[in-house]
Amino acid sequence: MRTRAAVAVQAGKPLEIMDVNLDGPRAGEVLVEMKATGICHTDEFTLSGADPEGLFPAILGHEGAGVVVEVGPGVTSLKPGDHVIPLYTPECRECEYCLNPKTNLCQAIRETQGQGLMPDGTSRFSTLDGDPILHYMGCSTFSNHTVLPEIALAKVREDAPFDKICYIGCGVTTGIGAVINTAKVEIGSRAIVFGLGGIGLNVIQGLRLAGADQIVGVDLNPAKVEMATRFGMTDFVNPTEVEGDLVPYLVNLTKGGADYTFDATGNVGVMRTALEAAHKGWGESIIIGVAPAGAEISTRPFQLVTGRSWRGTAFGGARGRTDVPKIVDWYMEGKIEIDPMITHTMGLDDINKGFDLMHAGESIRSVVLY
């Protein structure tokens, strides 16, 4: 079939909106009509050329929601008409990783996914001239139609609005999951969240759900304060307004260091600050942010010797087919909020405006409506 997509033709260049060819679903695959997709900082990270796995030309986007149009041979858990959220972290329920309760990192299709290909090693997308276009994170939600493996789709309730639940495909689940699944934050904890964007605000929302007593937000952009306060931030720190080193300032503010700190910036200097602002003896620092090719983290080993731990999380530790439908329920039941964080919507033709708003620090989440 022919569909319309925003194609990343080259690193550092705006997306090009064009008609593309899309082959139908093969064995174990599903054709989905996208209804909405969020724009995550990771899309910008890959488009910028900073992603060591970044390949071009590709159709980016990994935060979508849509409807099943057709299923390939052997697909049993989905049928046309089902409402779905694509999963960049699939859940096959069979691999060594899925069978280990310590991780959500299903590896069943990770190798081909990282190469921009479907599990059989080929792409379903091509230009109208027949040149292949690569998939991205196994999702390619910046296309009106896309093909995904069955194991990379969560079936969700049909009364949930696509333009809001698409955000559960990455930002909401990553932020809340980092608190609940990865850190397992206890009631009464003190926490610091670095970066109050689309992910950090959901960490804050997760901390409030978990019953944290103190939720410190750190960001260079004071425009983020209002929204972060609305979601539960108790203290705001702008590093540019702190005299001297940020670490002792934060340690003092949290009465000895935070029980949990979260990096949602992708800046390795911030990651070090986050680790060192965690409480001596027991503080845990969780890395969420994705850092550019070649970047490395460092600290004095003494920081770990004296009881702090450094950890990371992908997709908030969530097992997508199991957990995503539950998070959609939480939203529909009013347990979590999404609507205020979706600050801008646009059509696919204007998708580059969403990236501009992100660069300018003016949006939390932009959502493309098909």
Residue 2: in which H helix or E strand, if any? strand 2-7
Q: Residues 16, 53, 96, 226: which binds ligand AHE (CB under 6 A)?
A: 53
Q: Rounded to whole angstroms, how far apart are CA atoms 135 and 60?
A: 7
Q: Radius of gyration (Cα) for the chain, nearest Å?
A: 20
Binding to Zn ion in span 120-179, by CB under 5 A: 170
Residue among 75 and 290 whose Cβ is closer to Zn ion:
290
Return the SS3 of 315: helix
Residue 93 annotated in active site = no
Instruction: Lay out the site mask for ligand AHE across 11-40 (x = CB under 6 A, - = otherwise).
Output: -----------------------------x
Residue 190 annotated in active site = no
Taking CB under 6 A as the rule, does residue 61 contact ligand NAD?
no
Residue 106 annotated in active site = yes
Q: Which does 10 bind (CB under 5 to 8 A by kind): Zn ion, ligand AHE, ligand NAD, none?
A: none
Q: What DSSP line would sit under 210-228, residue for residue?
A: HT-SEEEEE-S-GGGHHHH
Q: Is the dihedral of CA 19, 349, 227, 83 positive or negative?
A: negative
Please tell me which residue in 44, 92, 127, 344 is annotated as part of the active site: 92
Q: Is the dihedral of CA 219, 222, 223, 228 positive or negative?
A: positive
Residue among 218 and 290 whose Cβ is closer to ligand AHE:
290
Dihedral angle of Cα 150, 153, 159, 161, to the nearest 10 degrees: -140
Q: Which does 11 bind (CB under 5 to 8 A by kind): ligand NAD, ligand AHE, Zn ion, none?
A: none
Residue 92 annotated in active site = yes
Contact by Cβ (8 Å): 107, 189:
no
What's the DSSP call for residue 33?
E
Q: Is the dihedral of CA 98, 102, 103, 107 positive or negative?
A: negative
Q: Residues 200, 217, 257, 283: which binds ligand NAD (CB under 6 A)?
A: 200
Query: In which region does residue 194 sit, left (phi positive, over 0), alpha (psi from -120 to 50) or beta (all else)?
Result: beta
Q: Which does 177 bind (CB under 5 to 8 A by kind): ligand AHE, Zn ion, ligand NAD, none?
A: none
Stretch that binds ligand AHE, among 49-57, 212-220, 222-230, 242-250 (CB under 6 A): 49-57
Residues at the interface with ligand NAD (CB under 6 A) = 40-42, 45, 170, 174, 194-200, 218-221, 224, 239, 264-267, 270, 288-290, 313-315, 358, 361
Catalytic annotation, residues: 40-42, 62-63, 92, 95, 98, 106, 110, 170, 365
> Which chain residues interact with Zn ion by CB under 5 A?
40, 42, 170
